[in-house]
Structure 1
Amino acid sequence: MNAPAVLLINTSAGPVQVTTPVPRETWWMLARTDAATNVTQTPAWLDCVCATGPFRDASRLYEFESGGRLVLPLVTRRRRPPSLTAQESWPGGWGVGGPVSSGRVGPREARAVFDDLARLPALRVGVRLRPEDSEVWAGAVPAGFQEDRHTVHVLDLEGGFGEVWERRFHQSVRRGVRRAERSDVDVEVNRTGRLVPEFYQLFEQSIVRWAARQHEPLALARWRRKRAFPREQLEAVADLLGESCAIWMARRAGEPAAAIVVLRHGQHAKFWHAAMNRDLAHPVRANHLLHRLAVDDACAAGCLRYDMGGSRQGASLAAFKEGFGADLFVSPRYYRERLPVSAVDRGLRTAVKRVIRFQEG
């Protein structure tokens, strides 16, 4: 790996020293200092991204005159000239990136980072923010950047599992959990990656169900879903995160029925992926039991948030998450493009959906 480059740049907040890529020990120190840091904002997550895609580390460390420091996770594609590639935090499907800092980030610091990103020669620069940062950074976005509005459901774990069970889980969820507990469901959790093959078999079964529900040709659905979430991605995350990656598996009569992947860093647990055999899992509410156990485990580990990920408002998945007491938060993505790549991509996707009469699930 090449030695980090150290630059001094002028911004609207004054001169700022930028180091890229960020030294690992500095990044880890800030990740431990910033209590809001998600697992997807750590150096380990960057390693996962780079291990399963044509990416390299392009992270940037900002050091301000005030003494504050901020890390912005970024990757760029390998073996492409800057003008023909993107620098993103993160690429599609890898979730929230955004700043990790040693203290409170104000509008001046946020604008300084945007000033720097605006000058990068990349074809596209994109940053997906965690909900805690959306207000400050939204007020600092300069002209030329556009917004993709994402939302996430987050369950507050303050007070411990007893408080969550009694006051945040809805009655229907508690009823579903008890139904699963009375049924023939057996659950195990593994943090070594041993359950990756069984999880991915369930995921492939789920693709068939999703394709039928969305009126999507099965071959297209398989290509699209497995391209977005290849088995190698789950294997890399399980391997590189180790104990921080838990696969919860529910079985009926020894057969996999449902499974979820939950990641953890500091005070944050993140529900990352799920898959199920609906015929086995749904009648006994296996997914309710899996999340109940994962939430209990997160509380026992000292987590204060259980991120249940994004879903469209009004969708059945959103209703499922809200049943656990998860609240909806904005997690915006801001991006700047030198050519309208995203607009063209959206147009093509919309045209294909119209042709196949795609139905949003």
Structure 2
Amino acid sequence: MGTWVLGPRASSSRDPGARREKPVNAPAELLIDTPAGLARVTTPAPRDVWWELAGKDPDTNPSQTPLWLDCLCATGPYRDASRLYEFERGRRLVLPLVGRRRRPRILDAEESWPAQWGIGGPVCPESVSPAEARAVFADLARLRALRVAVRLRPADQAVWADAATGFSLEPHMTQMVDLDGGFGAVWERRIGRRMRREVRRAERSDVEVEVDRTGRLVPVFYDLYRKSIVRWAEQQHEPLALARRRRTREFPEKRLAEVAARLGDGCAIWMAWRAGEPAGACIVLRHGGHAKMWRSAMDRELAHPVRAVPLLYRLAIEDACEASCRTFDMGESAPRSSLAEFKAGFGAESFRSPRLLRERLPVSAADRRLRTAVKRLIRFQDP
């Protein structure tokens, strides 16, 4: 099956010699021959089309929007590599994708998304056929990058995972609360009895809660995050210097500030205060019918006695219900861990959200072996 670069959109040239150099990151159009018929691929994907499809796709996550890609590119060494696929029968879909700036293509990694950036995957208002899904992964397999990876949302795995011939599957999960029926139904039927007691205890305590949708509380949250790193290092038996370096590199303050600035009302920082001091906080992202718990942090000595964090989660879930969200994604955690059990107390159920990976060299496997060896050396423990 061939791939052809097109000129203007009206062109239908199929001459293999028509390929020509484009300015870096300038839109390019390709015509590919697939089992689903001819398909036009535009990269980077036009923003107006991406927003249109995201608005029509009821399963679009906050991390599948153009704003999320902009946050990646603004705070890391990334470039827009998103792809718009248009099939002969009129089906259109966008695959959010970033590559690495200033890196030879043969050493590049094109991913949806890189680790720590959450769920990516195709944005498509309609169900794709198996042939169309295979066509997308066949196109990705032709990329010259060293690594190509796509993290699927739970709703997509049935069709897309089966279509990824030649891609390995990395198991991941996410815990989600079904908000169907509104907060009354969630509180009475899904949130556990023990967690309801914790929330009521917090409501009787001297905790004050505010929500910031402007980014004003970014520095306050990050101070709590730094305090949490100390606690996490102790829990996980990780050297503090290593924990600080790893955590702040994965989640620098500038990244939070960028997300808060670009998402606006779509990024809420919930802050619990006790005696005028920040006790606990969480960040919730929202797009369309989906809310996502992105990060949380606390000063345990202030927050735990008054159960400030359960109260924040309860208020954030109620807020998502009032915004007509259908799901509340609480993120990934190790199976059977204390964190997974905590989320289950709020009615969160586990769903598979695999990462599909294709590499020309087994760099990810080597990285996993190295990380596993280091964890064994320091006797690392999952929270």
Which category describes the TM-score, using the shorter chain as reference length?
over 0.9
2:364 is equivalent to residue 342 of structure 1:
yes
Separation of aligned partners in 1, 2:65 and 2:359 = 26
Q: How far off is 1:219 after superposition?
A: 0.3
Q: Is the 8 A contact 1:74 1:89 kept in 2?
A: yes
In structure 2, the partner of 1:64 is 87
Q: Is the 8 A contact 2:25 2:80 kept in 1?
A: no
SS at match of 2:210: strand
Q: Is the 8 A contact 2:120 2:152 kept in 1?
A: yes
Q: Could you tell me which of 177, 182, 191 is aligned with 1:160?
A: 182
Q: Could you tell me which of 32, 52, 63 is aligned with 2:75?
A: 52
* Rg larger for: 2
Q: How far off is 1:68 after superposition?
A: 0.3
Separation of aligned partners in 2, 1:325 and 1:347 = 34
2:65 is equivalent to residue 42 of structure 1:
yes
Seq. identity, %: 66
Q: Could you tell me which of 332, 335, 339 is aligned with 1:317?
A: 339
TM score, norm. by length of structure 2: 0.93
Q: How far off is 1:3 after superposition?
A: 3.9
Q: Could you tell me which of 109, 116, 138 is aligned with 2:132?
A: 109
In structure 2, the partner of 1:262 is 284
Q: How far off is 1:106 after superposition?
A: 2.1
Q: How does 1:95-174 map to 2 (within 5 A)?
A: 95-143=118-166, 145-174=167-196
Runs of 4+ in 1 over 3 A off after TM superposition: none
Deviations along 1:265-300, one digit per CA (max 9) or x if unpaired, are 000000000000111111111111101111111111
Deviations along 1:127-174, one digit per CA (max 9) or x if unpaired, are 00000001111211202x111110000000011111111111111111
Q: Is the 8 A contact 1:114 1:142 kept in 2?
A: yes
Q: How does 1:131-280 map to 2 (within 5 A)?
A: 131-143=154-166, 145-280=167-302
Q: Is the 8 A contact 1:134 1:331 kept in 2?
A: yes
Separation of aligned partners in 2, 1:11 and 1:335 = 21
2:61 is equivalent to residue 17 of structure 1:
no
Q: Is the 8 A contact 1:12 1:115 kept in 2?
A: no
Q: Is the 8 A contact 1:33 1:102 kept in 2?
A: yes
Gaps of 5+ in 2: 1-23
Separation of aligned partners in 1, 2:271 and 2:280 = 6
Q: How far off is 1:16 after superposition?
A: 1.1
In structure 2, the partner of 1:299 is 321
SS at match of 1:324: coil
Q: Is the 8 A contact 2:178 2:348 kept in 1?
A: yes
Q: How far off is 1:2 after superposition?
A: 5.1
- Partner letter of residue 151 of structure 1? M
TM score, norm. by length of structure 1: 0.98
Q: Is the 8 A contact 2:282 2:312 kept in 1?
A: yes
Separation of aligned partners in 1, 2:327 and 2:83 = 27
In structure 1, the partner of 2:309 is 287
Which structure has the higher relative contact order (CA within 8 Å, separation 6+)?
Answer: 1
SS at match of 1:101: coil
Q: How far off is 1:353 after superposition?
A: 1.3
- Partner letter of residue 179 of structure 2? L
Gaps of 5+ in 1: none
SS at match of 2:160: helix
Separation of aligned partners in 1, 2:102 and 2:33 = 29
Q: How far off is 1:303 after superposition?
A: 0.5
Q: How far off is 1:13 after superposition?
A: 2.1
Cα-Cα RMSD: 0.9
Q: Is the 8 A contact 1:68 1:102 kept in 2?
A: no
- Partner letter of residue 106 of structure 1? S
